[in-house]
Structure 1
Amino acid sequence: MIRVAIFGFGNVGRGVARALTNNRELIEKKIGKFEVVAIADSKSSIHGDVDLKYAVEYKLRHGRLPSDVKADELMENVEFDLLIDTTPTDVFTGEPGLSYIKQALSMGKDVITSNKGPLVVAFRELFRLAEKNEARIGYEATVGGAMPVVKLIQRELAGNQIFRLRGILNGTTNYILSRMEREKMPYSQILSEAQELGIAEANPEYDVKGYDAGAKLVILANTAFSFDAKFSSVKIVGIEDITPEAFEVAGEKGYTIRLVAEADSRGKLEVSPRLIKMTNPLAIYGTLNALLVETDLAGEVFVIGKGAGDRETASAIVSDMVDIYGRDNGH
């Protein structure tokens, strides 16, 4: 029996709870029996043999979980094998997820996270800690939502030399830019509409300034090139200064503008609005994400998919569970 603790119970945490409920039979065929023994959000929790449906409904109704016991107390007092960390991202401090993950790994517990912050702040440190304590880290959900990019780099392309990664790693900015291209409307107008639709946050800085794409690029570059890059290693320019006129000029020459994140094996790490040919696979529309991986043996490999959303992120988290505990993995 795999005992699971979920820290962070916002949209993503609840998405994981729903996926574990709805797809339990399918998941248990692949990894054996599991039970959720604790769930915590920033102020409250529930533990014991947790009924996931009840936990989701309670949180939606009351804005919290039934007990006042905090996450750190649960960490000490509840026996678990796997911590699923879906706490909010802070790319500058990594907290609160970083402390939880370090503590779990120090105790020899496996960790699966959707939180970019801890990996951006302490990528190598966390993997050293995991190795020392014979624990495992799954982090597919930190980069491309449902797109399997981490496993693509680590497994499928394992025998390849990777030269360069280029991607559209933020759905909000891609939505804004692709609408600017089609409708020739100003940035501010499309941003406010995106906020009304819930595509952009009330405070959209993280997305439009390129921070989110920069954080994902750090994780991808560290995975592909064994760098020890940090957030400060990335040269970042956001999209706030792009005008409808820029799209007109680009369009006349067969180009469009997208926020492209790029890393190469020589150490380049950059996120900026780029002119790309309309025929380029990265000229995608709407909230999609995409990644183009350039290799010596496989040539160019292209992945496209939904980069955000609770169900999509839950998909990546469940895939990490199967990866770590899958019966055909010799566990």
Structure 2
Amino acid sequence: MGEGSLRVAMRDHPQGQVTEGDFLIEETARPVPGPGQALVRVRYLSLDPYMRPMMNPVRSYVEPLKPGQTMPGATVGEVVESNEDALPVGTHVACMLGWQEYGLVTKETARIVDADAADISLALHVLGMTGATAHYGLLRLGDPEPGETVVVTAASGAVGGIVGQLAKIRGCRVIGIAGGPEKCRYVKEELGFDECLDHRADDFEQRLSELTPDWVDILFENVGGPILDAILPRMNDHGRIVLCGNISDYDRDEPYGLKGLSHLLLHRVNVYSFVIADHREYWPQAIAELAGWVKDGRIRFREDIAQGGLEGAPAAFINMLTGRNFGKQLLEVAPASVDHPAGN
């Protein structure tokens, strides 16, 4: 095993849509674990929309990336060298190592993953941050009641797909919005939504109106922009909007600017915006409940795993941002088998 570790950094702040030229791929020295640390070889990297606004030099809930910094991201991998008894060699862990092949963790920064209970990749979506996001956003903030109408944008995506299924478990009528007939078929036939609308279709707004005769009680919003504007007039009195993402704006030089904000006041709609990283204490209960539903077959999901190692991360990231992926976007950074460093 060599002594290097490949990483992907942001070369410079993107101007508009992200391109592969906005990234720098380089080999660095593999880190050496100190006391209480373990060296992890990354197996899978999660590629998520939140990474895009972090590339902009603007005030946000986290410090924006600076040119030359390693791209952030959730990872799952295997401990290959350890100075921490709680993280022996061979342990699988979920951690935030970003776009790199190797990284250091402690028992406080790594969550042990049971590789025998489920595929370790699930720790990056339905049994990880993605699942906790859907669970907290819908069940805690949206607080759905049986019989209510729930609309989910980006319904075929990692978060949206789980949200809709949680709403069905709660006894709601669920309408998904996705891009293209294939994704809409998946949302309705495999995930079990009651309906799914193609936002690219010419009759999208007409169909939305027809399918919400009693209005929309909860909107779980991942997209923003014109799609959100189309839904706002359909909101019920005292409805709830859970604002999870705004992916339509991430590549814009100027924000879209909603035209239908008056509907929030007219219908006394409550808007809840959140970032799941603010609610770490909620994750264990959410993941435990989701694990039971996955085991029972009540929660289904799809993974889109890009191949080719870390060099393929920029292209896979761009595919996800432009909606060319299908399901949770992951990157396989390294194969399952690893040779542990000598003496460990």
- The structure where helix makes up a greater share of residues is 1
Report the TM-score when normalising by structure 1: 0.31
Report the TM-score when normalising by structure 2: 0.30
